[in-house]
Amino acid sequence: MKIARLLGAAATAVMATGALAATAVPASGQDLLNPDMVPAMQRDLGLTHDQALARLASEDVANKVTEGLSAALGDAFGGATYNAATGKAHVETTNAALVGKIREAGAEAEVVKFSARQLDSAVSALNAGEKAAPAAVTGWGVDSATNRVTLSVLQGQRGAADAFLAKSGVDKASVTVVETATQPSLYANIRGGDAYYIGGSARCSVGFSTTTGFLTAGHCAALTGAGALTGANGASLGSWGRYSFPTNDYAAVRTNSNWTPLAQMNNGTAVRGSSNAATGTSVCKAGSTTGWTCGTIGAKNQTVRYSEGTVYGMTATNVRSAAGDSGGGFIAGNSAQGILSGGNTSVTYFFPIGAALSGTGTTLKTS
C-alpha cells in the first residue's frame, strides 16, 4: 500500500506556531496572482504571462455561460468544453433548433448525437456491473470533447473491454475504447514528509480548508485504519470526521486549537468558492512531491479502478503529479475543483469538491 501527502490547495491547515507560513493575498481583481500560479501555467501550458491572465479571465466567463446553458437546454444539453483557441465555451446540443440560442449566449455551438444525460446514464450502467468487470479494464467516464463515454483497457486486452461492454447492455455507439499502458494507482507512499502524519508513519496532504478543519483523500483514512493525526511538527492535529473510500475518495479532518485553517492555498492563492469548471479549462494543483503544477481539466464522471477499490464520479486531468501528492486540492482561478485521488503516468484524477463537501457535511472556507 502506498500513501501520499500533498500540502494542498486551500492552504493547508496552517499552524498557529507559524510552522507553515501563509502568504498574504492582496484584495484585488487579480488576487489569484501568487508567486507560483501564473508561472506554473506559463511553464505547463506554454503561455506567456499575459496569455495566462487572459485565459483565466476568458475561462471565468465561459464557465458562467456554460452553467447557464446547461440549465436552459435541459435534456438537449450534450456537454461542454472550453476552447482555448477562441476563449469561448463550446456547448453541445442534441437539438439543432437550439444552436441559435447557444450562440446568442456567447458560446460556440455543436450538434451531437448523445445528450449529457444519456452519457451519464451509460456510465451508471457500466458502474452497476463494475464488480464483474475484467481486471484489464481500468476505468470509464464521459468525455465531452468526443461526445462519448471513453472506456480504458490495458494494452493488448481490448477483447476484455468488448466482452464487458457486451454484458453491460450499453449502446456500443456511445462508447470509445482506448488502450492504456498502465493501471492507475493511488498517489501515496509510506514515507516521512512535512505534511500530516497518520499513526506516526503514513503521511498525506491537506486539501482545502473547511470551517472546521480540512478536506483530504478518503484513502488516507481508510487504508491506514484512520490512525492518530499529527502535524508536520509532531503536534496533535485533530481527529477524523466522515470519510469514504472506495466508491468515493474524500475525508474530513477536524483540526484542534493548534491549527488555524485559512481560505488560501499554500502559495497564497485565495479560495473564493467552488465550481465545476468545463473540460479544457486550465487547472492547477499544489503537491508536496511535484510542487505547483498546472494543466487542463479532461473527461468527467470517470470510474477509476484502483487495486484497492473503485472510485466513481471523478475528473481526469493532465496535471503532473506523483506519489506523495494524494489529498491535495485542484483549483481553477480562485474556485476549488476537487481533491487529488491518484492516477498513472499520463492522467491524474480528482474527486469533485461539491461531492466531497456534501459527503463530509462540511463547508468550504472562503475569503
Residue of 144, 219, 274, 321 marked active site: 219
Residue of 249, 275, 288, 341 marked active site: 249
Measured in whole angstroms, how far is the alpha carbon of residue 159 from the centre of its chain? 30
Burial of 110 (0-12, 13-18, 19+ CB in 10 A): middle
Q: Are 10 and 207 in contact (CB under 8 A)?
A: yes
H/E element, 304? strand 300-306
| Active-site residue, 325 included | no
Bond prior to 352 in cis (omega within 30° of 0): no
| Active-site residue, 90 included | no
Residue of 58, 274, 326, 341 marked active site: 326
Name the nearest CA neighbour of 342 among 171, 170, 223. Answer: 223
| Active-site residue, 249 included | yes
Measured in whole angstroms, how far is the alpha carbon of residue 41 from the centre of its chain? 17
Using CA atoms, how far residue 169 sits from 121, 150, 271, in Å, is 11, 16, 43
> CA-to-CA distance for 224 and 230, rounded, in angstroms?
14
Cell of residue 216, nine digits: 483530504
Amino acid letter, 79? G
Report, as residue numbers or ranges, the catalytic residues. 219, 249, 326
